[in-house]
Amino acid sequence: MALVVQKYGGTSVGSLDRIRMVAERVAETYREGHQVIVVVSAMAGETDRLLSMGWELCNAPAEREMDVLVSSGEQVSAALLAIQLNEIGVPARSMLGHQARIVTDSVHTKARIRTIDGTGLRSTLENGHVLVVAGFQGTDAYGNITTLGRGGSDTSAVAVAAAVKADLCEICTDVDGVYTTDPSVCPNARKIDRISYEEMLELSSLGAKVLQIRSVELAMKLGIPLHVRSSFSSSEGTIVTDEEHLLERVVVAGVAADKKTVKLTVRALPDHPGVVASVFEPLAEANISVDMIIQNVSKEGHTDLTFTVSREEADRAEAIATRIVDSVDAEGVTRDDEVAKVSIVGVGMRNHAGIAARMFRLLADADINIEAISTSEIKTSCLIEAEHADRAVVVLHDGFQLGKPSD
């Protein structure tokens, strides 16, 4: 008998029929003799519907109240799944964030979990119940309802798994695992059997939608292996675990393309000490994450400073950069939305020299110009023109032979 946490996302509980299917699947695990805690998201579309009501009322809705509003979505799906489980003979109880004692900080709309008291959960399990925990939500120390930010149900699942010392944490979703790259771009993309937390983190940051970044961070920190798999098939998905548990350390695990990036250039910036800080400090104060940075060689005492930001933050970043131009006596700001960032990720890059060089060569041979480069220990990213993004993914995926099963 194992203690299993299964998380189902919004699409998996997106209709009453889907909820019936999820219930069957939970029942199967339960009838095999396992203890099951299910963590559910809101029904697909529901969170957006609730948010839009709040935003329709005003421009800056009170965040405490937005949490109360939005958390009702998971409440509904948890109740419906518990109803259906009882209907098919599986004793089940829903638990909201405050009932499961998921205690967070008080940062409404993006709270972080502080503690989960697993004793209540465990004792209900030991009464033979399946628990259906509303994901995405918690309560702060004062009893206020909080939410964990978009995709927070993944994080709920990991934290609950840690609190009850679960044997397994399954993230059941609408894809059947983590792929070497986006299969809709690269038809011979291959499902990865095992991947390290670090690689998963990089892939998530680079736009792979399978797992929320914070849930991977938390799983890594707490040492909870995740099984990413399809909600509606019994085939094995992808195990996300620490490096020691990988069967082999592939050099490149996956390729990702992030098309939601925007390039901003501050032109003819006077090149003197502190001028770069004067650009990035106001951006940091505005909570804008700058990704890649390129500073051109100085010419006649002036330099161009180019950086990329996410599309969501591009308007704000551009406005701030434009304000800076006057204060530091630069020439102006240029914006380019037609860029993309392609990346290769793999823990093996730590010990293999020349991987980045090979990436540049593959892109060059395909006549794809590289506008900027950034690297981390297990990742190399290149900024290219957006129109070449899909082709770049295929070139890299083939070039690093990711379509071949590793053997």
CB of 140 to a copy of itself, least distance (A): 12
Count of C-beta atoms within a 10 Å radius of residue 249: 16
Place of tokens 């964030």: 97
**Which residue's CB is nearer to a copy of itself, number 74 or number 176?**
74
**Run of H or E residues at 343:** strand 332-345
**Which residue's CB is nearer to a copy of itself, number 51 or number 373?**
51
Give the pair of three-digit tokens for residue 400: 């690093």
Residue list 70-89, contact with a copy of itself (CB under 8 A) = 71-72, 75-76, 78-80, 82-84, 86-87
**Which residue's CB is nearer to a copy of itself, number 49 or number 323?**
49
Instruction: Please tell me whether residue 98 binds a copy of itself under the rule CB under 8 A.
Output: yes
How many angstroms separate the CA atoms of 254 and 245, rounded?
18
Give the pair of three-digit tokens for residue 364: 């060059």
Instruction: Please tell me whether residue 50 binds a copy of itself under the rule CB under 8 A.
Output: yes
Residue selected from 3, 44, 68, 373 as contacting a copy of itself according to rule CB under 8 A: 68
Q: List strands edge to edge, sheet with 168-173.
A: 92-95, 130-134, 35-40, 3-8, 168-173, 226-230, 238-241, 194-196
Phi, psi of 190 (to 5 degrees): -125, 140
How many angstroms separate the CA atoms of 189 and 203, rounded?
14
Residue selected from 3, 11, 34, 93 as contacting a copy of itself according to rule CB under 8 A: 93
**Which residue's CB is nearer to a copy of itself, number 163 or number 347?**
163
How many angstroms separate the CA atoms of 128 and 131, rounded?
9
Residue list 5-34, contact with a copy of itself (CB under 8 A) = 16, 19-20
Only segment of 93-101, 209-217, 319-327, 399-407 that touches a copy of itself (CB under 8 A): 93-101
CB of 233 to a copy of itself, least distance (A): 23
Pairing of strands 35-40, 130-134: parallel
Instruction: Please tell me whether residue 94 binds a copy of itself under the rule CB under 8 A.
Output: yes
CB of 110 to a copy of itself, least distance (A): 17
Instruction: Please tell me whether residue 64 binds a copy of itself under the rule CB under 8 A.
Output: yes
**Which residue's CB is nearer to a copy of itself, number 26 or number 69?**
69
Phi, psi of 377 (to 5 degrees): -55, -35
How many angstroms separate the CA atoms of 74 and 64, rounded?
17
Residues that bind a copy of itself (CB under 8 A): 16, 19-20, 50, 53-54, 56-58, 60-62, 64-66, 68-69, 71-72, 75-76, 78-80, 82-84, 86-87, 92-94, 96, 98-99, 143-145
